[in-house]
Amino acid sequence: MGRKKQARVRMRCERCRRPAPVDLRSKAAEGWNGKWEAGSLAFVLCPVCQTSAESAEAEINAAALTVGTEDGGKFMADPVLCLTGTLAEPGTVLYGHDHLQRIAQTGQAVELTLIEQMPPATRCVPMAGGVMVYPPRPPS
């Protein structure tokens, strides 16, 4: 019935195969934990199947998100590419190098969010589902 425009594969809990919420950043996905490996979401775990260590990690991620926001950091959901230059005149890739590699290997362009001309001192901290971007602090 519904339009099947989204070809996105729905992820399932690695252990019990329970289908994960399609939007892993939605309210429904609260408590789910994602393992982020080499720039892609390797697997997800439902709240029931997480060991205490893993749910602690999820809480740390959530904490990082909150702290980041208070810190002036900004969460960018993957796939995202952070550059100091531009695509025409590339500078340093601050984040998303593996996305580029994957595109080079498969020849398939993904819907990459491109952030160009970031100040070189920008800090990009990878985390589950994307990256926290911290602009350089103004000299005080």
Residue 15 binds Zn ion (CB under 5 A): yes
Site for Zn ion in 27-56 (CB under 5 A): 46, 49
Task: For Zn ion, give the closer residue by CB, 13 or 133.
Answer: 13
Residue 11 binds Zn ion (CB under 5 A): no
The neighbouring-strand residues paired with 133 are: 74, 124
**Comparing C-alpha atoms, which of 48, 57, 45 is closest to residue 20?**
45
Distance CA 130, CA 126 (A): 6
Pairing of strands 113-115, 80-83: parallel
Residue 16 binds Zn ion (CB under 5 A): yes
- Nearest approach in angstroms of CB 56 to Zn ion is 17
Task: For Zn ion, give the closer residue by CB, 15 or 35.
Answer: 15
Alpha-carbon dihedral sign for residues 29, 78, 56, 122 = negative
Q: By the criterion CB under 5 A, which residues form the site for Zn ion?
A: 13, 15-16, 18, 46, 49
